[in-house]
Amino acid sequence: MYTKAEIINILKDDSQNEALFLKADKIRYENVGDEIHLRGLIEFSNICSSSCKYCGLRTANKNVQRYKMSPDEIIQCAKNAADIGYKTIVLQSGEDKFFTREILCKIISEIKKLDVALTLSIGERSKDDYRAFKDAGADRYLIRIETTDENLYTKMHPNMDFKNRLNCLYNLKELGYETGTGCLVGLPGQTIESLANDILFFKNLEADMVGIGPFIPHPNTPLKDTPKGDFTLALKVMSLVRILLKDINIPATTAMETIWPNGRILALQAGANVIMPNVTKFEYKKKYEIYPGKISKDACYDGNLNNQLLLEKKDIEEKIKSIGRIISNTKGFRKNH
Ligand code: 5AD
């Protein structure tokens, strides 16, 4: 176990990066093996009542064509993904009030009939909502803390409360969800020390999943002129998370790939063991612009959604196999828990 001072040193010193990535890769192999879990991501609504300074979907951005998929469309999308072999469905959206507890529970229970694990990533909700979603069949929940620096958090998230964010995470843990969190690397004013605190926070929380991504400036946000986050630093944070939380699930995030060629493959070789391919229809996913340049394939779209989904899945599977890794055919719950 590293101390905070050691973590800070590792993050600041770039002379041992390769050794760090190798160590994380070894710990990944020893604890979760060579299997990669694919999670089919459905971005079902880009409507958001929050105004996170970094996010292109913030309520104040009027240049977004807002959409929400109907419950039937969401369920159909999940069916398409399950049909071609996805064993986990992730439902993600902005903080969209249209999706009430009742509506979501209905969607959850329908998707759970498909014999898949179900992850929610829909932001801050009451404990009663979280309980109802769990009772309806949800298995996992993703909600990044984004940063553990309370001052920075407050600056980045107008009208939001850091304590409430923390409470959401504690509530999810208590309700028995596999709980995922994570942070952005490269927020303006973020320090190396605060990244070290983020890593220790994930450990203290005993997070089951941790997603790390570099900040990417979006032109229609107040942070449009802020430099983007550093890929190598984000990779190092991710590797340290693997070293400290040995057996958790860690995605190679889309943001990594967006700012660095082959970024996800590099992440898979530095501690990650999960990829979340986007299974949303192109007409919607192009409007789900959290940050610009979000990698997304449409070139091969021939009008047949299932063909397109299959091609995308094959494409990522080829890449995974090319580095000697295996596609899991299980639901990919956290091992030993
Ligand atoms: N750059 C990178 N990641 C971002 N996210 C939101 N906006 C950006 C951005 N501009 C991340 C947040 C959120 C996740 C869904 O997307 O960390 O939790």
Report whether residue 187 contacts ligand 1, using a CB cutoff of 6 Å. Answer: no
Over the chain, what is the mean pLDDT?
A: 96
Report the nearest atom of ligand 1 relative to the CA of 54: 10
Report whether residue 290 contacts ligand 1, using a CB cutoff of 6 Å. Answer: yes
- Among 54, 169, 209, 257, the mutation site with the greatest number of ligand 1 atoms within 8 A of its Cβ is 54
Tens-digit pLDDT profile for residues 191-206: 999 999 999 999 999 9
Tens-digit pLDDT profile for residues 308-324: 899 999 999 999 999 99
Report the nearest atom of ligand 1 relative to the CA of 223: 10
Report whether residue 55 contacts ligand 1, using a CB cutoff of 6 Å. Answer: yes
Tens-digit pLDDT profile for residues 278-304: 999 889 999 999 999 886 655 455 667
| Whole-number pLDDT of residue 282 | 87
| Whole-number pLDDT of residue 300 | 53
| Whole-number pLDDT of residue 295 | 65
| Whole-number pLDDT of residue 1 | 85
Percent of the chain with pLDDT over 70: 96
In sequence order, what DSSP letters do the residues of 207-236 get, joined into one string? Answer: -SEEEEEE----TTSTTTTSPPPPHHHHHH
- pLDDT of 246 > 60? The answer is yes
Tens-digit pLDDT profile for residues 118-159: 999 999 999 999 999 999 999 999 999 999 999 999 999 999
Report whether residue 218 contacts ligand 1, using a CB cutoff of 6 Å. Answer: yes
| Whole-number pLDDT of residue 307 | 84
Give the Cα separation of 78 and 114 in Å (integer).
Answer: 8
Q: How far is the CA of 288 from the centre of ligand 1 (A)?
A: 11
